[in-house]
């Protein structure tokens, strides 16, 4: 391959990568590197929609308050202000590009989701919002001038010299070759790391590649202990976890235990519309109480047309597996869903490495804090992608004023000589689910930390995409577990059974940085 000397290299092809590329092409030549096909991404699985305060009874201030409340004391207020104030303009951008948002009576239809005090969720194709946005952006990117797309190229290293990002080394999995590309601006848009866990709503590509890349390059990684577990993933024998959107409860769906009783009101006044972390832990408690591995989501009291029109994808998927959700209860259980931590950026997407930017799930902008408010993630992508390109060309990183205290750490060293656990993907995923899942404790975290440290020390040089991904997952798993061990409290999505309450002394961010 010939390195044509690009102005931007974008790593990843979800909504973050595609939207950023379409903006960047207006000011320079863009290379998109994606480890699979351009259509292989997490975005298309986003069912709920995209949040924007555009309703007549809504406002940026109300959206701000809802987001801050969900974030459990760790949101960056400046980042949240930017999100809610710029949301309506970014919706207009999507409409101009051609995203077909659903309408009602001639206006954009707005739905409500848990922890939102207003109906502000735009959706497209009912519960196929992510797919509709991804398909629209993908089509635009494929035909846009100044965009080169290289599929099946996994970025393996960010080239950094004298503290400045200068290029990317990538593995072409089809040719089996190593390629090198150069650009003054590198933008990480690689998505999350849900495949770390045995049960997840994420596709196979969500292996934490961007966080691993950034950490090895010397970028700051923050808030890794905060991983969101979606309360309602389909739980059917032989069927991989499938997201049952929070919007289902927003439309009136209710949770029942295996005995058929509603239970959420016993755990929180908000009942079925409580925050995701509360609902997920409540479901775990109810499953333990009843000795079951599932609860049920009931929409049978809703009009059939409402279900089939608002949630056509969910309806068809369940029907394919023998379940008519208009007549029968949906078996569900929590599953790993969204990485709220990631590569630390300021409100312009800049990292501590000059020329290296990040946006989307791989980035930690400070918007989500300790617990993401539903459907804020797609809007975060649009807002902060735009802000990256607006600052194109800046060579110096200008850090924002710290909103919350920060504490910096390096990965601990362990005596791993007695660890003989073989490194296998399934073993890693089970270890993370059992020891660093919804409910954590010191003993379990330390057990996992030791095993992961042993694996990390014994990693071999990768020669194929699966092993590259496995190496990345081991590193990202270590960052998550070490952060969870350090944070001796419970806050948002991070729950420690040995420290079950939040502590004012822990209203701070945990940051890791690789040091030689």
Three-class secondary structure of residue 16 per DSSP: helix
- Summarize the confidence of residues 110-133 as an average pLDDT: 87
pLDDT the model gives residue 404: 76
* Confidence class for position 112, pLDDT limits 50, 70, 90: confident
CB 346 within 8 Å of CB 398:
yes
The pLDDT tens digits for 278-296 are 999 999 999 999 999 999 9
Residue-wise DSSP of 216-260: HHT--EE-TT-EEEEEEEE--TTS---B--THHHHTT-EEE-TTS
Buried b (16+ CB within 10 A) or exposed e, 105-140: eeebbbbbbbbbebebbbbbbbbbbbbbbbbbbbeb
Decide if pLDDT at 357 tops 50: yes
- Summarize the confidence of residues 142-165 as an average pLDDT: 95
pLDDT the model gives residue 134: 84
Decide if pLDDT at 300 tops 80: yes
List active site positions.
276
The pLDDT tens digits for 61-95 are 999 999 999 999 999 999 999 999 999 999 999 99
> Residue 190: which region, alpha, beta or left (left: phi > 0; alpha: psi -120 to 50)?
alpha
Angle at 337 between CA 463 and CA 442, to 5 degrees: 85
pLDDT the model gives residue 106: 87
Decide if pLDDT at 347 tops 70: yes
User: Quick one: tokens of 297?
Assistant: 């989501």
Instruction: Give the domain 404-512 fold.
Output: Methane Monooxygenase Hydroxylase; Chain G, domain 1 (1.20.58)
The pLDDT tens digits for 316-339 are 999 999 999 999 999 999 999 999
pLDDT the model gives residue 227: 98
Domain covering 232-334 assigned CATH 3.90.700.10 in the classification: yes
The pLDDT tens digits for 393-417 are 444 444 455 667 899 999 999 999 9
Phi then psi for 344, rounded to 5 degrees? -70, 125
Least Cα distance to 388 among 24, 88, 5 occurs for 24
Cα–Cα distance for residue pair 490/484, rounded to 1 Å? 10
pLDDT the model gives residue 391: 84
Decide if pLDDT at 468 tops 70: yes
Same fold across 232-334 and 404-512:
no
Decide if pLDDT at 11 tops 80: yes
Cα–Cα distance for residue pair 58/60, rounded to 1 Å? 7
pLDDT the model gives residue 132: 84
**pTM, rounded to two decimals:** 0.93
pLDDT the model gives residue 403: 66
Segments making up each domain of the chain, as ranges: 232-334, 404-512
Those residues whose C-beta lies under 8 Å from the C-beta of residue 443, and which sit 6 or more positions away, are none
């Amino acid at each position: 391959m010939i390195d044509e000397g690009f102005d931007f290299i974008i790593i990843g092809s979800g909504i973050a990568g595609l939207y950023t590329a379409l903006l960047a092409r207006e000011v320079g030549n863009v290379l998109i590197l994606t480890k699979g096909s351009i259509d292989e991404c997490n975005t298309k699985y986003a069912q709920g929609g995209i949040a924007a305060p555009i309703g007549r009874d809504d406002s940026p201030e109300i959206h701000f308050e809802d987001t801050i409340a969900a974030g459990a004391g760790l949101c960056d207020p400046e980042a949240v202000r930017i999100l809610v104030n710029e949301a309506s303009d970014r919706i207009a951008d999507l409409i101009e590009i051609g995203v077909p948002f659903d309408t009602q009576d001639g206006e954009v239809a707005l739905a409500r989701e848990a922890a939102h005090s207003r109906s502000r969720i735009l959706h497209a194709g009912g519960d196929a919002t992510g797919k509709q946005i991804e398909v629209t952006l993908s089509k635009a990117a494929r035909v846009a001038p100044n965009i080169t797309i290289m599929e099946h190229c996994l970025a393996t290293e960010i080239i950094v010299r004298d503290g400045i990002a200068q290029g990317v080394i990538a593995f072409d999995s089809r040719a089996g070759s190593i390629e090198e590309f150069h650009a003054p601006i590198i933008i990480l848009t690689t998505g999350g790391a849900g495949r770390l866990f045995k049960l997840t709503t994420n596709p196979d590509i969500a292996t934490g590649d961007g966080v691993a890349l950034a950490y090895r390059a010397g970028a700051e990684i923050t808030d890794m202990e905060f991983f969101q577990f979606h309360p309602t993933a389909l739980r059917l024998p032989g069927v991989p976890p499938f997201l049952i959107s929070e919007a289902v409860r927003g439309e009136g769906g209710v949770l029942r235990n295996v005995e058929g009783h509603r239970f959420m009101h016993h755990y929180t006044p908000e009942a079925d519309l409580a925050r995701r972390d509360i609902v997920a832990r409540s479901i775990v408690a109810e499953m333990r109480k009843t000795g079951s591995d599932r609860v049920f989501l009931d929409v049978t009291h809703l009009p059939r047309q409402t279900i089939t029109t608002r949630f056509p994808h969910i309806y068809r998927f369940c029907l394919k597996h023998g379940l008519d959700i208009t007549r029968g209860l949906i078996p569900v259980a929590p599953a790993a869903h969204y990485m709220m931590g990631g590569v630390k950026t300021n409100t312009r997407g800049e990292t501590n490495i000059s020329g290296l930017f990040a946006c989307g799930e791989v980035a930690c902008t400070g918007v989500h804090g300790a617990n993401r408010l539903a459907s804020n993630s797609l809007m975060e992508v649009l807002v902060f992608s735009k802000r990256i390109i607006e600052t194109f060309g800046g060579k110096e990183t200008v850090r924002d004023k710290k909103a919350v205290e920060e504490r910096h750490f390096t990965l601990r060293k362990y005596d791993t000589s007695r660890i003989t656990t073989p490194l296998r993907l399934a073993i890693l995923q089970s270890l993370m689910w059992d020891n660093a899942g919804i409910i954590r404790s010191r003993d379990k975290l330390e057990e996992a930390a030791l095993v992961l440290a042993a694996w990390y020390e014994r990693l071999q040089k990768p020669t194929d995409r699966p092993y590259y991904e496995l190496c990345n997952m081991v590193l990202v798993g270590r960052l998550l577990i070490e952060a969870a061990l350090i944070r001796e409290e419970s806050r948002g999505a991070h729950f420690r059974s040995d420290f079950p309450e939040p502590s004012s002394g822990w209203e701070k961010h945990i940051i890791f940085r690789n040091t030689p």
